[in-house]
Structure 1
Amino acid sequence: MSPRVLAALLALLLLVPAATPAVGATLGGGGPVAQTTPTTSVTENTTFYLQIRANGDARWTITDTYALEDENDTRAFEDLATAYVEGEREVGWEQSFRRASTAASEATGRQMNVTSVRRDYVVSEGKGTIVLEFTWTNFATVEGDRLVVGDAFNTTDGTWLGHLTEEQRLVISPPTGYGVLSSPPLTAVEGGELRFEGPRTFEPGYLRIVYAGDAPTTTTAPETPDDGPLFGGGSLWLGGAAVLILGLVVAVGYMARQGAAPQAARTNDADGDAEAAASDDVMADATDSDDNADVDVELLSDEERVERLLEQNGGRMKQARIVKETGWSNAKVSQLLSSMDEEGRIDKLRIGRENLISFPDEDIGDFEE
């Protein structure tokens, strides 16, 4: 194993007081928030995934992904990660966020706590990922049908989240049924999720977001041209053209059916009945096929997308493949699967180096890693 990677892995699970700050932050009266992750030359990325809940709590998932150069690196990572999951080694993130929640409680006057801590790790395709999940209570304020995020980032001396480094990103996601009413300027909003890519700094008060229940989700998109919208307003003629085209299609279809009628009349009744029955069977098969193929995944919830993937793959999949198929981050997938596991919608089982995801009643006895 290369000395560089070994040193990084040791730093990962051992508290190192001299480590570089993880989240560029200063807690009230204290120094920078300690970090114990490896050097940036080894760390591929760190994602802070923040899922806001309708009651104001926030479920955080923090993933640190590392490059594993060979089998020795992989074994060393697994040994240390296993010790971390079993509570025999500590990582700086949890303690750092506990200090941050205490500082935020003092600044806002709202009682906050870090609870429901869960640890995990994943090894796949030359990468090792450490996962930390926890709930930060009372993170957002509830104002009727609105949720306001922002003051939990404050301390009496400013903010505990001062910057993101180059390999770090912050993703904030609203509860189901909530849309973004206002967010920091020049911020990417995709499917309701706000994404902040490092390197960047945050001034106190910058991270203020307002969500509303049943509000339309805003997304970043090119501005509408000056000549008006495509449909409605000054372009009503397009609606008339669409109706005209539809009428022509119907007329052509009717004429085609009329043209085919004489030929059908020349067949005997038995042949006609057989052909009609065969046609009905083909149409039924086509309809069933279309029902399966034409499902718009954009209309499915995240949980439904996972369940659909499982159905398409015999009821079981590796977690890493779900990440690949959906294009979601490791942090989002990990949090989503943990939630579905708690609800009994799926089973999450570690087999070897990977998490196997399956339906609760699925037989995995013959699974081969």
Structure 2
Amino acid sequence: MSSRVSAALLALLLAVSVTAPAAAAPVLSTPGPLQQTTETPTPTPAPVTENTTFYVQLQPNGDARWTITDTYALEDENDTEAFEQLAQQFVDGNAGTEWEAAFREANDAATTATGREMNVTSVNRDYVVDDRRGILILEFTWTNFATVDGDRLAVGDAFNTTDGTWLNSLTDDQTLVIAAPAGYGVQSSPPTMGVRNGELRFEGPRTFEPGFLEVAYTGNQGPTTSTTTEDPNPGGALGNTPLWAGALLVLVVGIVVAVGYMNREPGDPSAPVSAASPSDGDDGGGPEVKPESNGNGTDAAEAVSDIDVELLSDEERVERLIEQNGGRMKQARIVKETGWSNAKVSQLLSAMDEDDRIDKLRIGRENLISFPDEDVTEIDE
């Protein structure tokens, strides 16, 4: 690994102390995103860095979508105004380009070490101001970051260089998160590392030895389909139960239903009513049938709704939240309602925007998220 790559990555990307020729190292500072690069300096609020998160969302094809969030404390309105000026230059690509440059060097170093063609593509910049915090967001796709072998996805060699690894530490305010694709599970991971919701989380400060960040995933790249072509139980629903036993079961069920119907009280809303065959003279104006309670004061329908949330994908959860909020809501509120990180929410919303599932609209200091057909001409501040 060249001294230029080493100095750029270890000093900027991971704030690692290394010995490198001073003349070969680019003149950069940490944190990079708030460095002013224009000739005419803009007053900066000198914010305090709260944290930096590197969020890596793996894709089934081996690509990885990286989201880097730098969070800064904004003490007052002057800090906020200065941050917004710099953030806009960051979005325009005129300031805070150090992260992108560092990762492009890492990409080149990993390509040389692995012999596998990789590229940094689909770069996107954004920012959010919320609760006295300013957040710079850099997103990009690192192609061929992982190797694919059937339903197996392996991560690790993209962290390599010819001299070891370009990622050998995290500072105390940095976090690395590697997330598995939907439907994939972790087959093997670094020792002592726990997996939560398909995510491996590495908190700084810590160091990494070459080869430590090796993770293998297995899963399905498409809907699971059954390979069975014959009925494994030709006896039907009752299997190989003798005919007389099946007839007896039907008779018992019929008696139970009949007794229940005969003993019902007139007007009892719990009495069986056929939706397809209403009683004679019923014009639909009868008493409303209430959902059954689950015993805890919660309607059964609400209980089912609560259970369904756990079965929803991340995209469906966001769409459900937007629908519950009248078709539009602020990005910061989505972060609060879901409990997800800013990096994950930003990456998820960008992907949904590209798929035309939602629209992102900058309103003042925040992003307004809405459905594509939602009228946002009147915004509730």
Bucket of the pairwise TM-score, normalised by the shorter protein: 0.7 to 0.9
Contact 1:35 / 1:93 at 8 angstroms: preserved in 2? no
Please give the per-residue CA displacement for 1:200-230, whole angstroms capped at 9, x wherever unaligned. 1110000000011139xxxxxxxxxxxxxxx
Q: Which whole-Å CA distance do the structure 1 matches of 2:367 and 2:136 have between them?
A: 13
- In the TM superposition, residue 48 of structure 1 has moved relative to its aligned partner by 0.2
Q: Which residue of 2 aligns with 1:75?
A: 81
Contact 1:188 / 1:196 at 8 angstroms: preserved in 2? no
Please give the per-residue CA displacement for 1:76-127, whole angstroms capped at 9, x wherever unaligned. 0000100110122233100000000000011111111111110000001100
Root-mean-square deviation (Å): 3.6
Please give the per-residue CA displacement for 1:216-255, whole angstroms capped at 9, x wherever unaligned. xxxxxxxxxxxxxxxxxxxxxxxxxxxxxxxxxxxxxx8x
- In the TM superposition, residue 292 of structure 1 has moved relative to its aligned partner by 6.8
Contact 2:154 / 2:215 at 8 angstroms: preserved in 1? yes
The one-letter amino acid of 2:290's match is V
Q: Which whole-Å CA distance do the structure 1 matches of 2:123 and 2:321 have between them?
A: 28
Q: Which residue of 1 aligns with 2:363?
A: 351
What does residue range 52-63 of structure 1 map to in structure 2 within 5 Å? 52-63=58-69
**Does residue 282 of the first structure (1) align with residue 290 of the second (2)?**
yes
- In the TM superposition, residue 307 of structure 1 has moved relative to its aligned partner by 0.2
- In the TM superposition, residue 293 of structure 1 has moved relative to its aligned partner by 3.5
Please give the per-residue CA displacement for 1:268-323, whole angstroms capped at 9, x wherever unaligned. xxxxx98x985663249998943774343221110000000001100101000000
Quickly say closer, same or farther: Cα 1:112–1:193, change in 2 above 3 A: same
SS of the counterpart of 2:118?
coil
Contact 1:24 / 1:162 at 8 angstroms: preserved in 2? no
Contact 2:15 / 2:30 at 8 angstroms: preserved in 1? no
Q: Which runs of 5+ in 1 are unaligned?
A: 1-16, 216-253, 267-272
Q: Which residue of 2 aligns with 1:326?
A: 338
Contact 2:47 / 2:72 at 8 angstroms: preserved in 1? no
Contact 1:48 / 1:61 at 8 angstroms: preserved in 2? yes
Q: Which whole-Å CA distance do the structure 2 matches of 1:64 and 1:115 have between them?
A: 20
**Does residue 173 of the first structure (1) align with residue 175 of the second (2)?**
no
Q: Which whole-Å CA distance do the structure 1 matches of 2:262 and 2:366 have between them?
A: 59
- Count of aligned pairs between the two proteins: 309
Computing the radius of gyration from Cα coordinates, the structure with the larger value is 2
SS of the counterpart of 2:13?
coil
Quickly say closer, same or farther: Cα 1:56–1:350, change in 2 above 3 A: same
Please give the per-residue CA displacement for 1:136-168, whole angstroms capped at 9, x wherever unaligned. 111101111111000000011111001111111
Q: Which residue of 2 aligns with 1:142?
A: 148
TM-score, structure 1 as length reference = 0.75
Contact 2:47 / 2:74 at 8 angstroms: preserved in 1? no
SS of the counterpart of 1:134?
strand
Q: Which runs of 5+ in 2 are unaligned?
A: 1-7, 35-45, 222-255, 269-280
Q: Which whole-Å CA distance do the structure 1 matches of 2:107 and 2:267 have between them?
A: 81
Q: Which whole-Å CA distance do the structure 2 matches of 1:120 and 1:315 have between them?
A: 22
Q: 1:22 aligns with which of 13, 33, 53?
A: 13
Contact 2:57 / 2:66 at 8 angstroms: preserved in 1? yes
The one-letter amino acid of 1:366's match is E
Q: Which residue of 1 aligns with 2:324?
A: 312
Identity of aligned residues (%): 62
Contact 1:316 / 1:356 at 8 angstroms: preserved in 2? yes
Contact 1:61 / 1:131 at 8 angstroms: preserved in 2? yes
**Does residue 261 of the first structure (1) align with residue 263 of the second (2)?**
yes
Q: 2:217 aligns with which of 211, 216, 224?
A: 211
